[in-house]
Amino acid sequence: MYCLDSNMVNCIEQVNKPREPGETVGVKSAGVCGCPNDCMSQGKCHDFDSCKCDDGYKGKDCSLLKCKEQTCHNLGTCKEFSEGFSACKCRDGYGLSDCSAEISPLPPIPNLLNKPQYVDDEYGDEHPLFNMSAIMQLYIEISEEDLEFLILPENSKSTDYKKANITFYNGKEREKFVDAGIKIKGGASRQFAKKSFKISLSHFDKNNKAWYGQKKFSMKAASMVPDFVREMASAASIYAMGAPVQRMSY
């Protein structure tokens, strides 16, 4: 019969030697031969079907962390959770469960609906945050409990802010705010799956100063008109009359 070797690529033939009548020989079926997931490159394949994990790792395929021996590549600290798994809390700029991946700068996302906007202040059409030629990306880190509070129907009328770490990126500017505030906002959208939110940079941490004049951001749900054509048409009409228009990004 045939088994996969430790590289999960080549095959080796297992030859049954002659044996006495009634003698049994253990064999391995093709379905269980080969180390699971090649030990995730965090261990060595042993006897063709089991992993001997490196220090700091455990599990059948060495995919789980063992906090007592886990260094997190000296880029974080290992934490054990009540659910029975462990993970590293990594320094900014690094990720994955063991901090082994360096996080590259976020790529900008082009926006095809590139329209001018006007606000009567020092930035004019050149505000560094509200860039209409790229989609604004917001990466939000929030606890499971607070996220649940924000999205559950019974809390749809709440005005309470919840703590969150928020990273903004629009292709030119990138900034992370720790302990910012986020809450649900809007009218009809409060009842929708896609909700609107408001972010306050300094609600919990007064050291989070205004960013290019902005202290708060509104995230409007696109439940009714996903491409924002209505908003764009309204803004263009007001702009044509020379009136200030609320800044927007997507």
* 150-202 residue pLDDT tens: 988 889 889 999 999 998 888 788 888 999 999 999 877 787 777 889 999 99
pLDDT digits (tens, 9 = 90+) for 122-141: 777 678 888 767 778 888 88
Domains in the chain: how many in total? 3
The conformation of residue 180, written as its DSSP 8-state character, comes to E
Asked if residue 113 and residue 228 are part of one domain, the reply reads yes
What value does the mean pLDDT of the chain take?
Answer: 77
Between the ranges 66-75, 88-97, 108-117, where is the mean pLDDT highest?
66-75
As given in the structure block, the two tokens for residue 159 are 């005005």
- Residue 157 · residue 149 · CB < 8 Å: no
Residue 198 falls within a domain, yes or no?
yes
DSSP state of 73: G
Question: Could you tell me the pLDDT band of residue 220, with boundaries at 50, 70 and 90?
Answer: confident
Are residues 86 and 125 both part of a single domain? no
Instruction: Kindly report the number of other CB atoms within 10 A of residue 15's CB atom.
Output: 6
- Residue 249 included in any domain: no
Model confidence at 118, pLDDT cuts 50, 70, 90, reads low
- Backbone torsion region of residue 74, taken as left when φ is above 0, otherwise alpha when ψ lies between -120 and 50, otherwise beta: left
Residues 137 and 187 in one domain: yes
More confident residue, 18 or 68: 68
Q: Same structural domain for residues 16 and 125?
A: no
Residue 229 shares a structural domain with residue 114? yes
Task: Provide DSSP, 115-174.
Answer: -----SSTTTT--SS--TTEE-EEEEE--HHHHHHHHSGGGTT----EEEEEEEESSS-E
Domain interval for residue 228 = 109-240
- The residues near 192 (Cβ < 8 Å, ≥ 6 apart) are 221, 223
- Rounded to an integer, what distance in angstroms lies between the CA atom of residue 118 and that of residue 244? 6
Residues 205 and 100: their CA atoms lie apart, in Å, by 31
Higher per-residue pLDDT: 151 or 238:
151
Q: What is the pLDDT of residue 73?
A: 93
Percent with pLDDT over 70 in the chain:
71
Higher pLDDT, 237 or 201: 201
